[in-house]
Structure 1
Amino acid sequence: MGGCHRFVQATEFGVTDGHADDPEVAIVYPAVPGVADTDRSPFVNIDSTTVAGIQRAKELGFADAQLAQVVVSPFVFETNDLFTQTAKGRLFSVFRHPIDRAISMFYYIRVADWEPSYKPELQDWTIEQYATSDIVENNWMTRQLSNQLGGELTEENLKKAMEVVRNKFAVGLMTKIEPTMDRFEKMFRWTYHVNPPNQEACRERLMGGGANSNKANKKPVEEGSEAWNLLAHQNNFDLPLYQYIEQLFDEQESFVAGMPERFRMVDSTCCKCGPPTYPPEGFTCPEAVKNDGT
C-alpha cells in the first residue's frame, strides 16, 4: 500500500526524524535508515500504533485533516475513536493462522534489535520454553477484537470478537495474500496513479516474496508436536476465531462479484510519466525526495 500504491500512510514511522513534536498534522517524508539514495514514501506525522500516539493524533485533528489514505494500528477500539462523523474510516485486516503467527513472533523478537519487544535471551530458548513462558502472547486476536487485553477469557469474548470482525472488517488471509490484495483493491477502489508499470512490478515482487521476511531464521513446527500443542493451548480461542475468519473470507467474495479483474489498472493514470496524466477527481503525486536531502 505504501511502497507500490504509494498511499499516504499513518504508522509509527511518521514520527521519526523528530516529527513526534510537530505542532500541526502534516505529510512528511522520513528517511529510510541505512538507505542513502531512494525515493521516500509519504507519511502523516502521527503514530497510530500506540494509545498515546492515537490521542495526540486526535488532539491535532488528524481525521478531519484527511491527509492519510491508510491508517495502520493494532488498537481497533482506540482507532475507531480517532475518526469523526465528517471523517470516517473502514476497517480491513490480513489475518494469520495463530500458531504460525506465534512461531514467527518467537523467531522475530529474538533477532529484531530495532524493536522495543526485542529479547536477545530468547536466542538460547527452545520454542517449547517460549510457549510456556509469560512472554508468549495469549489469544492475541481474541483479546484485541473483544477489547480485553488482560485477565481470563471466556466464550463471550470469542463471540464478541466474531461479531466485531463480521460486522466491521473486510478480512484477508496471509495464506491467500494475492486474492486478498486483489479484493481490497476492488472493495476500496484502489487504482494506480503514479506509474502503473512500475507499481505493478512492485506489487508482483511483494506478492511473490513478501517484505521483512524472517524465513531464514525459522525452524518448522509440525502440527501435533509438543511445541504445536503448547502454542495451541495459548491460542485456544484464537484458533476457532481464525477458522471463522476463513469462512468470512469465502463469504465476502460476494462483495466484489462482477467487478473487473486487475481493477487496479482500471482508469489508471500516470503522474510521473511524460507527459503526466491525472484522474478527473484530482491527485497529488508523491514527491521525488531523496535521502540525501535533495
Structure 2
Amino acid sequence: MEPSKKSKRITCLVVLAIAIISLLDEVQMITSRRKTLLEDEVMKDSMGDVGDFVDDADTPIFWHIPNSGGSSMKSYYNCMGLVEASEIGLEMGLARSGLTDIAFTEYPTIATQMFDAEHQARFFTLIRHPIERTASLFHHQISEMMKEEGIHKPDLAHLTLEDFARQRIDSKDNGGFMVSSLTDKRHSDPLTNDDLERAKDILRHKFIIGLMPKMEESINRFDNYFGWHTIRDHERCFDVCIRQGKRSDSYENVEESSEVWKMLEKFHYFDMQLYEYALELYDYQANLVLVQSQDELVVGGGNAPVESN
C-alpha cells in the first residue's frame, strides 16, 4: 500500500525538523567555538603570562575567591599603601592609566576585558580546598544571620552543614565556582571536562598560585614576584595583617570519611580537580619566582605540569 499524501507530508516535515535541529546544533557549536577563540585571543593579549617580566604598565589583579583569605589580602596591601582600583575604576579606565597598583576581582574574565596588550592584567590568587571553603561559607553565613538584631531565628541553631550541602546540591548551582569563573560560565551552567581543561590551562599560564594552608609563604611569593618586598612597611604590615591577623576557624573540620564530605566532593567535582592541579602548580612555581636582590626580580623556569589525557 502506497503511503497517503498526508503521511508523506508528515514524513517530510519530520525529516525537515531533524535537519533544522542538526543545523542549529552545528551553528551553536560554531558560535561556541568562535566565542572560545575570541576569548582566548583577548586573554592572550590582555593577561600576562606568569613567565614574562612584569612591566610597569601592567596591573596586578588578585582573584578574590570567596572565603579564601581575600579580606586579609586587602588589609595587607592597603597597609603597605598600594593604590587599589575597584572593578568600577577599572571600567572607567584606571587599568590603562598607570595610577593604580593593584585591583581585586571575583570575576577574572570580566576584569580582563579592561586591559590590552600594552597594559596587561597580571593575575594572582589564594586557593582553598573547595570543601573547606564551603564549610567556612556555611559557618560565616550562620554567624552573620545570628547577629541580626530583632530577628528570632530558632531554626538556625539546628541547621547543619549537611542541610546546607543538600540545599546547594538541590539548587541550580553547578558546584564549580572556580572553573565557572575562569571559563566565563554562569554558575548554573553545566560544566564539562573541556571546561576543566581550559581552566587548568588558564591557571597554568596566567596565574601566580597561592594556597590558603601556606598563606605566609604564598604572600612572600606574590611580593617577590611583583617587587613589593622592597616596600618600607612590608615587614610591619606582614606581621600585623598576616601573622597576627590569621583567623582561626572556631568550627570542626569536615571529616573526609563523613557523608557530608562525600556529598560535597561529588558536588564540587570540577573545582576539586582544579584544586588538585593548583597544588601541582604551586610546587612548580617554587622554582619560577626567584629573588636575586632587593632591586632585581628574575622570573623564569621550564614548562608547567600538563595533565595527561
Structure-1-length-normalised TM-score:
0.64
Match of 2:272 in 1: 239
**Could you say what secondary structure the match of 1:172 adopts?**
strand
Q: Which runs of 5+ in 1 are unaligned?
A: 11-46, 114-119, 268-294
Partner amino acid, structure 1, of 2:133: R
Residues 98 and 235 in structure 1, CA contact (< 8 A), matched pair in contact too: yes
Distance 2:174 2:77 in 1: 28
Partner of 2:243: 208
Q: Which residue of 2 aligns with 1:16?
A: none
- Kindly indicate which of the two structures has a greater share of residues assigned to helix: 2
Q: CA deviation at 1:227?
A: 1.5
Task: Tell me if structure 2 keeps the 8 A contact 1:187–1:255.
Answer: no
1:45-103 CA-to-partner distances (Å, cap 9, x unmatched) read xx42xxxx4xx742x22212222211100111100001234422201111111111111
Deviations 1:90-137 (CA, angstroms, capped at 9, x unpaired):
011111111111110111122236xxxxxx765541100100104677
Q: 1:3/1:224 Cα in 2 relative to 1: closer, same or farther (>3 Å)?
A: same
TM norm structure 2: 0.61
Percent sequence identity over matched residues? 28
Which of the two has higher C-alpha Rg? 2
Structure 2 unmatched ranges of 5 or more: 1-75, 146-152, 296-309
Secondary structure, in 3 states, of the residue corresponding to 1:72?
strand
Checking the alignment, whether the CA contact within 8 Å between 1:63 and 1:84 is kept in structure 2 is no
Taking the aligned partners of 1:208 and 1:175, their CA distance within structure 2 comes to 13
Aligned residues of 1:139 and 1:235 also touching (Cα < 8 A): yes
CA distance in structure 1 between the partners assigned to 2:266 and 2:138 by the alignment? 16
Counterpart for residue 122 of structure 2: 90
Q: How many residues align?
A: 210
Q: How far apart, in 1, do the equivalents of 2:248 and 2:121 lie?
A: 31
Tell me the alpha carbon deviations over residues 155-214 of structure 1, each in whole angstroms, 9 at most, x when there is no partner.
111111111111111111111112111111111111344x44xx4133123332445x36
RMSD of the TM alignment (CA)? Answer: 2.6
Q: Give the secondary structure class of the aligned counterpart of 2:143.
A: coil
**CA–CA distance in 1 between the matches of 2:97 and 2:158?**
48
Aligned equivalent of 2:167, options 133, 136, 154: 133
| AA at the equivalent of 1:190 | W
Change (3 A) 1:154 1:85: closer
